[in-house]
Structure 1
Amino acid sequence: MSDKSPSLPLAERVRKLKLPEDVDRTPSRWQNRLPWLLWLLTLAGCLLLLWRSWRDSSVPTSATAIRTESRAEPGQTSASQPGPAPADPNTVVLEALGYVVPVRKVQVSPKVGGQIIRLYIEEGQRVREGELIAEIDPTKYLHERNRRYALWQQAKARYELLKAGNRPEEIRRAEAAWQEAQAALRQAENDWKRTRLASRAATPEELERTESALQQARQRERALFEQYQLLRLGFRDEEIRQAEAEMLALEAAYRDAEYDLENTRVRSPISGVVLSKRADVGDMVLPNVPSNLSASICDLADLRNLEVDVDISERDLRHIRRRQRCEIRPDAFPQLVLPGKVTRIMPQANRSKASVSVRVGILLPEDVELLPDTRARVRFFAGLADDAK
């Protein structure tokens, strides 16, 4: 079937496709302003979003501050309140899991080193303060104590001798010897005078002999007189003080040796329960321990004075304060509820856990026993422990 429409030349068909010459090709006024309108609308939307975000972040903060100030008691500042607390003191503000730990836990170490010859404890045994728990071989310390005691007694005797002075008999004997020397001196002087008067009849040897005897008598009389004076005056004060100092030093050394001997009997420093033994009979223990010896004998803890160690997250720390009332539920006794209160808030946070350790004291009844390192759940109430009746 053939096309019956007349075929037009190509130039004619192109001409028909062109727009008329009288059509206005200039853009309208709204077409020029449309991009500016869109930009202004976008800017207004951003400003509106920023204003709403600022209002949402600032209004709750000021409201919280107003509520905190309204609850502050007269004479207290809002800074003393760790965070907003509910009005009802029986409201549970936080619940956390912790571990039971003893308030007092000690490692019993001997004050002297040596070999354990007797041990009087076992794990789980109750001991009283001052009770004997072990004995260390005392042989070396006994000999040292006896040696220092002998030295002390020797110095003490010398001090007392110097302080008491010379005996009256010794002084009288020295005085008699001096008087005898005076008589001998007078005799020698008389002999020397007679020999000098009879110089013509006396030989030179006799004159020399009498003069020498006179000099010897004078020297002996002077020496005996000085000895008599020393005995009469007694010992010098400096010698007495020196002897006293030596005596006191040796007495201190003896007391130190006696103290070491007494410490071979190791006694319990507190009343509590033996948690673990670290040494046995035959072991060597030393206070300053090298790597191959034991430094302690056992671990003791007072299991009547317990608390729960709870790690509180930093974001929940605002709910915690000292003396806050708590309830403790040990995992070992799920039906048991024990009263307690916040006793300590540690002054340093754990960086790796982003938490702070809080200690909750347990008011433990006489018929209840808890073991250390067991788990317990703690409920923190809004009120203080003294307010809960």
Structure 2
Amino acid sequence: MGDDVGRTHLAVYVDGPYSGPRKFGEQTRLFEDLSLLGRDTGVDVQVLTPGDLSTGRAHVFTGTAWETAPRAPMDVVLRRSGVFHRHPAVAARELVALRRHGLLHTLPRQSGHKWKMYAWLRGDARLRPHLPRTWLCARIEDLMALLASQDDLYVKPLNGTQGQGIYRVRRRAGKIELLPAAGGGLITVATPSELQRAWPADAWVPAVAQTTIPLARVGNRPFDLRWLVCDGDCPQIIARVARLAKPSAVTTNIHTGSEPRAAETALVEAFGAQTAGDLVNQLDDIAMAVAELARDKFGPYAELGLDLAVSDDGRAYFIELNPTPGRRMLRRLDPKVHRLSLQALLEYAIQVRQRRGGYAQG
């Protein structure tokens, strides 16, 4: 790592390291791209894993391989894992220390808590009309009571990501159908006791249930949307992506097989050019309102991913917030947009350093 006082130091805190070429799992290539781009932009990038902060080491990419090196000073630290499987207690302790020192510029994990987020956002008059009806299910009895009046729901873990643990729950002809997003086939039960046996409460409770939105479609493929927002001196929307699901898919998540497409293109195909333009403007307003509220509540952040949707009758919805948005869909969609999203992170780190007067913490 360079020690030039004119350079900015960006650290990424992530689960790992792992053996083999993918040292940081599926994010390894992202960190390599960020390191190479940073080298040309005046930003030195280092990766920290649980325990590295305490021992003073870091992982750096030479251009051909990852090496362990003494940890450099830090202007900004970005948390890039939602869950830490390796040394979670160490990770929690080090992340608290980084936030206490004002170095951590990722929204806290509780910002993605689906019920707390819904309760918080529904207090804003701008956003209330764009939130799907949502209920907290602390017990299986809560879900059964809902199904007495609701016949189509999505049940989601409070802190789940990448479509994990999501079920579509439908009431049809006196029976209850469970469709897991992860696959495995349809589960059909007739009574609450059968539901408890087929779907043990410790596998999903507590959770949120949201009324199913009849998503807009391109052909026979439903889609939802991901907006990537980067903070900084001038907060901006960096990317607008539609995620086209397979016709019978339970979720539109890229990890469950969806196809990324430019959001404007998908909306034009679904609604026509004029309506699509109006919808993009409306979705932009929703995204920036959520981003503004997130900053006011949690403090500065480098980026966030916002999941949005448009129903088949043209209503815009905000679904959820992701404090550590991935880049897989951007790389598949448009390498230029992917590069722009990385550049935005580097520019954010530079701006933070400049506001501090060029001082980085060791």
Question: What is the TM-score normalised by the length of structure 1?
Answer: 0.19
State the structure with bigger RCO (CA 8 A, min sep 6), 1 or 2. 1
Structure with the higher fraction of residues in helix conformation:
1
Larger Rg: 1
Question: What is the TM-score normalised by the length of structure 2?
Answer: 0.20
